[in-house]
A and B are shown apart, each in its own frame.
Chain A
Amino acid sequence: MKTAFIMQKEIRESILTPKGFLWYILTSVILSVLSYLFLTNRELSLLDQGTMLYMIMNFITALGVLMGLVLGADAFAGEIERGTLEALFLSPVKRREIAAGKLCAVLTNWGIIFAISLPYLYIVGKGGQNLLPGILYLGVLGTLLSLIFSAFSMGLSARIKSMKNSLIISFFIFLLAGAPIFLSAALRRTWFGRIFDLLNPFADAVNTFDSVVIDSQGLSYQTGRVAIICIYTLLCIWFLKRSAAKVQM
C-alpha cells in the first residue's frame, strides 16, 4: 500500500508533468521518423520486414533502458540534492518500500513507452513474420531489462548520493552493455565476443529478438538467454534492496 503511494507520488512528479510528457512526445516523434523511413525510404525499405521489426524493437528497448537509467539516477541522489529525501524518510515508510515504489514508477514509464511503440511495431511488422511473438518478447524482456538497469542505477544513486556521478557511471554501463552493437559480426564470433554476448543482458535480449523475429526460433532456443536476464534482474533488485537499506542523509 505504501509502495503504491510512493509509486503514485513518483508518477505525479516525474511522469505526469509537462516536462515528463515531453519525453513521450520525443519518443513518438523519433519512432514516427524511424518507421516512416523504414517503410518509404528506397534503401531502408529494401530490408526484410522481420529485420525492420527487429531493428525498431532494439531501438525501443534501448530507449526504455536509457530512460530507466536517468529516472533511476535521480531516484535517491536527486532527492538528496533537492533536499526532499529527509521528508520522505520522516514519513512512516520503510526504505525498502520507497525503493520499490520508485522502481514501480520507472516500470510504469517503460509501460508507457511500450504502449506508445505498439502502433509503430504494428505498422512496421504488419504482414511480415513473427509480429506477435516479437511484441510479446519485447514486452517481457523490455520489462526485465528496464528492471535491471533502473534498479542498478537506483542502487548506485543511493550509494553515491550524487546524481551527476551516478548518471555518468550508469551511462558507461549502458555503453558497455550496448557494445555488441558496435562490434563487428566477426568479432562477436570470437570466444571473447561469444562470452561477452552471453553475459551481457542487453546483448542477450537483442540476440533473443533476432532469434525470435528473424530466425523464427521457438522458446526452447531462448531459455538460456532469458534465464541469464532473469538472474541479472534478481541480482540488481538485491543490489537495490541492499543500497536502499544503507542510504544515509
Chain B
Amino acid sequence: MKKTILTLSMIFFATMLNYTYAAASGRITISINPPSVQAKMGDRITYTGTITNNSGKPVTNLITYISLANVTQGKEAPMDLEDWSANKAIRVDTIAPHGTYMGKWPMRLIDSGGYVAYITVVDKNNNIPVISMMSHLDIKRVLRLNPNNVLPVAIGEPILIGAVFVFISFKRRPGVR
C-alpha cells in the first residue's frame, strides 16, 4: 500500500514538474548557435544565444549566461570560463512581446578536448531556468611550441651574462689593469 502511494506521489510530482517546465520554457525559449564547432587551440569563436519571448507580455530582468563542460573521457568537469570568455553573464532588461534578444559570447579556446556549451536564461519570475540545447565543441590540440626555439635563448642568455660577469670579475681583480 505504502509503495503504491509513494509511486503515485512520484508520478504526480513528476507530472507537475514537467508541466511547470513546459510552461516556463513555453514563455521563453533560448537557442544556441552554432550547434557544433570544430576548432583548434588558440582560435576565437563566438556563440550567439537567441532568447525569444513567446508570450504576449514583455519579460523583464533576465540573466543569461553560457556554461561549458568538458566531456573528454577522464576529464569530465565544468569549466571556469574566466580564461575562456570575457563576457560570461548578460543582463537583459526587457524583451518585448514576441520579440527576441541576441547575446554574444566571444570565446578564446584554451584547452583541447571535447566540450559542450549551453546557454541558460534565468527569469526571476519562474523557478525553473530555461536552458538551450547543447552545442558540441571539439578543440584540437596544437603543438605550436618548438623547444628548439626556446633552448638557444634559455641556455644561451644566462651563459652570455655569466661570461660578462666573469669578464668584469677578472678585470676588477687586484693587480689586473
Listed in ascending order, the chain A residues whose CB lies under 8 Å from chain B are: 16-18, 21-22, 24-25, 28-29, 31-33, 35-36, 39-40, 45-49, 51, 116, 119-120, 122-123, 126-128, 185, 215
Contact = CB atoms under 8 A, between A and B. Distances in A.
Nearest to B149: A123
A246 to B, nearest CB: 36
B177 interface: no
Given A16-B168, A17-B168, A39-B147, A32 B153 contact: yes
Contact size range, B = 20 to 34
A138 to B, nearest CB: 17
B144 A127 contact: yes
Given A48-B42, A49-B42, 13 more contacts: A16-B168, A18-B165, A22-B165, A24-B165, A28-B157, A32-B154, A35-B153, A39-B147, A40-B150, A46-B41, A48-B110, A119-B157, A185-B82
B7 interface: no
Which among A17, A18, A49 has the highest number of chain B CB atoms within 10 Å? A18
Interface of B: 41-42, 82-83, 86, 108, 110-112, 144-145, 147, 149-151, 153-155, 157-158, 161-162, 164-165, 168-169, 172
Q: Is the interface of B mostly helix, strand, loop or mixed?
A: helix
Nearest to B146: A39
Given A17-B172, A40-B145, A116 B86 contact: no
A46 B150 contact: no
A126 B157 contact: no
